Amino acid sequence: MKHHGPSRFVGTAHLVWWLLGFPPALVLAAPAVAQSARQDEVGGVEIEYVAHAAFLLRSPDGSEVLIDPFQSRVWLGYDFPDGVNPDAVLITHPHYDHDAGRFRGAEFPWTGVPLLDGPGRLEVGDIVVLGLEGKHADPYGKEFGQRNTLMVLEIAGIRIAHLGDNGPLTLRNLEELGRIDVLMLPADGVDHILSKEETSDILRSVEPRVIIPMHYRLPDLEDSPDSPSDLGEIDPWLADRGNVRRLSSHRTVLRVTDLPEEPAIFVFDHAPYVRSAGMPGR
């Protein structure tokens, strides 16, 4: 059962102004897009935030892709949920919080479905995935050569990029990425992966219409204020940014016609079926 063109390097004056945090951050209501699992009725892509850097993406024909599942209770203080049965799995790099512990020898739950864990191309129903060679942010990932794959998915005419734990993007990265409408990138209050300057450079170069932060501490799922180590919450990162849309759900549906005219940051709730190690019933 399942839970439910060329690179653009030239920013506008408005985007630079927004990136610098002026005017003060705006917190808007959830966007006027259908928040329903029945995305086939609107011809869009459903984005479901599981937790950490894990997302489920669903296409109009019902195809479902899982990106970067985390290993339960390793660094993170919560469990990856049972019953997630995607049609394909994408892994940006072999850290336990992105590959379900596969590199460390943990049992991998999705052995029977297509897997893309490096550069290449994968088609799943009406979803097209391109894996592009990147590089893990310093100083992490040296045990596996700092491999990191930028995952680009085209679904219902929308181009979505999941950066994994990539560091600064190179000119080659930007050329290969092409037009990106929705950008998922690591972001937290202590700059665990990307510094503020690196983040600003990426946003100015890619110019996505929607920015989805990920890879930050989820305090309601952690039993200790020090867990996980060296990972900040999202609110400090958002504090000086404008056009922030806090969704009251872990899901939303985007259509090409719904993409905001000005860059917007979408902040999801984590999925309600993700449980911390301290919650009853586990």
> Which pTM does this prediction carry?
0.84
CATH code, 242: 3.60.15.10
What pLDDT, in 10s, does the model give residues 190-227? 999 999 999 999 999 999 999 999 999 999 999 888 89
pLDDT recorded at residue 170: 98
Give the pLDDT confidence score for residue 278 in this predicted structure. Answer: 62
Residue ranges for the chain with pLDDT beneath 50: 1, 3-41, 280-282
pLDDT at 226: 85
Q: Could you check whether the bond before residue 139 is cis, i.e. omega within 30 degrees of 0?
A: yes
DSSP E strands in 21-93: the ranges are 27-28, 45-51, 54-58, 64-67, 88-90
What separation in angstroms does the CA of 116 have from each of 61, 95, 169? 20, 15, 21
Length reported for the chain: 282
Predicted local confidence at residue 105, as pLDDT: 83
**Residue 195 belongs to a domain:** yes
Whether residue 263 has a cis bond before it, omega within 30° of 0: no
- What was the pLDDT predicted at 107? 87
Count: domains in the chain: 1
| Residues sharing a CB contact under 8 Å with residue 228, sequence separation 6 or more, in sequence order | 75, 76, 77, 217, 222
Residue 280 in domain: no
130 domain-assigned: yes
Is there a domain that residue 274 lies in?
no
Tell whether 278 is covered by a domain. no
User: Does residue 118 contact residue 88 with C-beta atoms inside 8 Å?
Assistant: no
pLDDT value, residue 154? 98
- Examine residue 112 and state whether it is found in any structural domain, yes or no: yes
List the domain range (segments joined by +) for residue 172.
Answer: 13-267
User: Could you give phi then psi for residue 46, rounded to 5 degrees?
Assistant: -95, 125
Q: Is residue 4 part of a domain?
A: no
pLDDT in tens, 246-274: 999 999 999 999 999 999 999 999 999 99
Per the domain annotation, does 127 fall within a domain? yes
